[in-house]
Amino acid sequence: MIRSLFSFRTLSVLAAVAVTAFVADFASAQEATGGRSLIDLTSAFSVAIVVFGAAYGISKLAAAAYESMSRQPEVAGNIQTAMIIAAALIEGFTFYALFICSGKT
Protein backbone atom coordinates (compact mmCIF):
# COMPACT_ATOMS: atom_id res chain seq x y z
CA MET A 1 0.00 0.00 0.00
CA ILE A 2 2.75 2.45 0.96
CA ARG A 3 4.78 1.51 -2.10
CA SER A 4 1.86 2.28 -4.44
CA LEU A 5 1.22 5.55 -2.60
CA PHE A 6 4.68 6.82 -3.51
CA SER A 7 4.74 5.53 -7.06
CA PHE A 8 5.89 7.71 -9.93
CA ARG A 9 2.35 8.04 -11.28
CA THR A 10 0.94 9.21 -7.96
CA LEU A 11 3.73 11.69 -7.38
CA SER A 12 3.46 13.07 -10.93
CA VAL A 13 -0.30 13.59 -10.54
CA LEU A 14 0.24 15.35 -7.22
CA ALA A 15 2.93 17.54 -8.77
CA ALA A 16 0.64 18.47 -11.66
CA VAL A 17 -2.15 19.40 -9.26
CA ALA A 18 0.22 21.45 -7.13
CA VAL A 19 1.61 23.33 -10.13
CA THR A 20 -1.89 23.99 -11.43
CA ALA A 21 -3.03 25.29 -8.04
CA PHE A 22 0.07 27.47 -7.76
CA VAL A 23 -0.36 28.94 -11.23
CA ALA A 24 -4.11 29.42 -10.74
CA ASP A 25 -3.41 32.02 -8.05
CA PHE A 26 -1.41 34.09 -10.50
CA ALA A 27 -3.80 33.47 -13.38
CA SER A 28 -6.79 34.63 -11.37
CA ALA A 29 -5.25 37.94 -10.39
CA GLN A 30 -7.51 40.74 -11.61
CA GLU A 31 -6.56 44.10 -13.02
CA ALA A 32 -8.03 47.11 -11.27
CA THR A 33 -9.72 48.56 -14.34
CA GLY A 34 -10.33 45.92 -16.97
CA GLY A 35 -11.56 43.00 -14.95
CA ARG A 36 -9.51 40.59 -17.07
CA SER A 37 -6.92 38.30 -15.60
CA LEU A 38 -3.29 39.35 -15.71
CA ILE A 39 -2.14 35.98 -16.95
CA ASP A 40 -4.48 33.84 -19.03
CA LEU A 41 -3.06 30.33 -19.19
CA THR A 42 -6.27 28.32 -19.29
CA SER A 43 -6.23 27.82 -23.05
CA ALA A 44 -2.55 26.87 -22.98
CA PHE A 45 -3.15 24.25 -20.29
CA SER A 46 -6.20 22.96 -22.12
CA VAL A 47 -4.29 22.58 -25.38
CA ALA A 48 -1.43 20.82 -23.58
CA ILE A 49 -3.81 18.36 -21.92
CA VAL A 50 -5.53 17.64 -25.25
CA VAL A 51 -2.25 17.07 -27.07
CA PHE A 52 -0.81 14.83 -24.35
CA GLY A 53 -4.04 12.84 -24.18
CA ALA A 54 -4.17 12.32 -27.93
CA ALA A 55 -0.51 11.34 -28.13
CA TYR A 56 -0.98 8.86 -25.30
CA GLY A 57 -4.10 7.41 -26.89
CA ILE A 58 -2.54 6.96 -30.32
CA SER A 59 0.60 5.44 -28.81
CA LYS A 60 -1.44 2.91 -26.83
CA LEU A 61 -3.49 2.15 -29.96
CA ALA A 62 -0.37 1.58 -32.07
CA ALA A 63 1.29 -0.55 -29.39
CA ALA A 64 -1.74 -2.79 -29.08
CA ALA A 65 -2.16 -3.03 -32.85
CA TYR A 66 1.48 -3.95 -33.45
CA GLU A 67 1.38 -6.52 -30.68
CA SER A 68 -1.73 -8.14 -32.11
CA MET A 69 -0.22 -8.06 -35.62
CA SER A 70 2.85 -9.86 -34.34
CA ARG A 71 0.69 -12.48 -32.63
CA GLN A 72 -1.56 -13.07 -35.66
CA PRO A 73 0.21 -12.05 -38.87
CA GLU A 74 -2.59 -13.46 -41.05
CA VAL A 75 -5.00 -10.69 -39.96
CA ALA A 76 -2.43 -7.89 -39.99
CA GLY A 77 -4.17 -6.08 -42.86
CA ASN A 78 -7.49 -5.90 -41.03
CA ILE A 79 -5.82 -4.77 -37.81
CA GLN A 80 -3.81 -2.10 -39.63
CA THR A 81 -6.94 -0.75 -41.32
CA ALA A 82 -8.79 -0.59 -38.01
CA MET A 83 -5.79 1.09 -36.39
CA ILE A 84 -5.60 3.79 -39.09
CA ILE A 85 -9.33 4.49 -38.83
CA ALA A 86 -9.17 4.72 -35.02
CA ALA A 87 -6.10 6.98 -35.16
CA ALA A 88 -7.87 9.25 -37.67
CA LEU A 89 -10.89 9.48 -35.35
CA ILE A 90 -8.62 10.35 -32.41
CA GLU A 91 -6.86 13.03 -34.46
CA GLY A 92 -10.18 14.43 -35.66
CA PHE A 93 -11.43 14.74 -32.11
CA THR A 94 -8.08 16.29 -31.13
CA PHE A 95 -8.36 18.97 -33.80
CA TYR A 96 -11.91 19.74 -32.69
CA ALA A 97 -10.81 19.97 -29.05
CA LEU A 98 -7.88 22.21 -29.99
CA PHE A 99 -10.25 24.47 -31.89
CA ILE A 100 -12.52 24.70 -28.84
CA CYS A 101 -9.65 25.16 -26.35
CA SER A 102 -7.73 27.80 -28.25
CA GLY A 103 -10.76 29.87 -29.24
CA LYS A 104 -10.57 33.49 -28.21
CA THR A 105 -13.61 34.99 -26.51
Q: What are the DSSP calls for 54-86, one per residue?
A: HHHHHHHHHHHHHHHHHH-GGGHHHHHHHHHHH
26 plus 45 within the same structural domain:
no
How confident is the model at residue 42, as a pLDDT?
74
74 plus 52 within the same structural domain:
yes
DSSP one-letter code for 36: S
Helix axes 76-101, 42-71, angle to 10 degrees: 180
89 plus 45 within the same structural domain:
yes
87 plus 105 within the same structural domain:
yes
User: Number of folded domains in the chain?
Assistant: 2
Q: What CATH number corresponds to the domain at position 67? A: 1.20.20.10
Mean pLDDT per 10-residue interval, the chain, length 105 residues = 61 71 56 54 79 90 94 94 93 88 67
CA distances from 2 to 6, 9, 12, 67 (A): 7, 13, 16, 33
How confident is the model at residue 105, as a pLDDT?
53
- Give the domain range for residue 68: 41-105
56 plus 101 within the same structural domain:
yes
**Helix (H/G/I), strand (E/B), else coil: 30:** strand
21 plus 58 within the same structural domain:
no
